[in-house]
């Protein structure tokens, strides 16, 4: 089921440098806000803490597997639209089941505006609508990305989302990024460049021949077949 990719030392090195970059960015943020976070979670016993760690690690591994399986299905089977439909057909079913079990009360509170609430119902819906819009664009773009590239490069590219968040903070709150931001940016970009330094794991033999697939058909092949058939048709007709 899974792909058979060949990763070289350059790919691994690029990945490690990217991870160091994001670690650097995260660690430098501890000074600003995470001490409060740690204090607030200090009352949680160690068993719960371990449970949280295991959940976070499992989630990250599952999301990596999700990207790989999506890549396999989008490239070898149904294509972008089929994947989106089928994945979220079942996904909605699973999510609704969990919603009914774990999140029923919170869901009802979405429609009730109680006294002391900082947001009105309309504001909540505006935020929710924007969230859905951006998330839909994100997930649809990710599937499209997987159809033309590969899961590992997607995960490397996605690492820079924290840096985008820093830019948002700079614009909205007027807080300029610290020096660690630039170090992190340089490390992530260097990691991607080094990753790209190795031969492509999906086997591009030259930089210009990235095959763009559309609905399980190779566009280049399709155009070539079309042209060939057109020439043959004309020859048959006219000679």
Q: Under rule CB under 8 A, which residues in 111-150 are in contact with other proteins? A: 117-119, 123-124, 127-128, 130-132, 134-142, 144-145, 148-150
**Helix or strand (DSSP H, E) at 57:** helix 46-76
Q: DSSP assignment, residue 77?
A: S
Taking CB under 8 A as the criterion, the residue among 147, 153, 185, 213 binding other proteins is 153
If one asks whether residue 177 binds other proteins (CB under 8 A), the answer comes out as no
Q: Which of 43, 90, 181, 185 binds other proteins (CB under 8 A)?
A: 90
Residue 234 is a binding residue for other proteins (CB under 8 A) = yes
- Between residues 33 and 179, which has the closer beta carbon with respect to other proteins? 33
CB 174, min distance to other proteins, A: 16
Q: Give Cα 35 to chain centroid, integer Å.
A: 28
Residues in Cβ contact with 169 at an 8 Å cutoff, skipping those fewer than 6 apart:
175, 177
User: Least separation, in Å, of the C-beta of 95 and other proteins?
Assistant: 4
Taking CB under 8 A as the criterion, the residue among 177, 178, 211, 216 binding other proteins is 216
Give the residue from 83, 78, 68 showing the smallest Cα distance to 149.
68
Among 30, 18, 19, residue whose Cα is nearest residue 178: 30
Q: Does 110 bind other proteins (CB under 8 A)?
A: yes
155 binds other proteins (CB under 8 A): yes
Distances (CA, A) of 153 to 14, 22, 221: 10, 15, 25
User: How far, in Å, CA of 178 to CA of 128, rounded?
Assistant: 31
> Taking CB under 8 A as the rule, does residue 183 contact other proteins?
no
- Least separation, in Å, of the C-beta of 98 and other proteins? 5
């Amino acid at each position: 089921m899974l792909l058979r990719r060949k990763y070289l030392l350059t790919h691994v090195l690029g990945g490690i440098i990217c991870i160091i970059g994001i670690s650097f960015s995260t660690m430098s943020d501890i000074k600003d806000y995470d001490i409060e976070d740690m204090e607030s979670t200090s009352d949680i016993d160690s068993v719960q803490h371990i449970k949280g760690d295991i959940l976070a690690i499992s989630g990250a591994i599952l999301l990596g597997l999700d990207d790989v399986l999506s890549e396999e299905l989008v490239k070898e089977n149904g294509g972008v639209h089929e994947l989106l439909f089928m994945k979220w057909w079942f996904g909605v079913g699973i999510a609704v089941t969990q919603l009914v079990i774990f999140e029923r009360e919170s869901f009802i509170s979405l429609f009730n505006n109680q006294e002391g609430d900082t947001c009105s119902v309309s504001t909540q819906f505006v935020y929710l609508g924007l969230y859905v819009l951006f998330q839909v664009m994100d997930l649809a773009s990710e599937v499209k990305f997987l159809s033309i590239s590969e899961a590992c490069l997607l995960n490397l590219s996605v690492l820079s989302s924290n840096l985008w968040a820093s830019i948002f903070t700079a614009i909205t709150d007027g807080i300029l990024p610290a020096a660690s931001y630039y170090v992190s940016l340089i490390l992530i970009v260097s990691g991607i460049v080094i990753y790209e330094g190795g031969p492509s794991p999906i086997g591009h033999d030259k930089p210009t021949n990235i095959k763009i697939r559309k609905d399980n058909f190779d566009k280049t092949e399709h155009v070539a077949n079309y042209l060939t058939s057109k020439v043959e048709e004309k020859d048959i007709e006219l000679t």
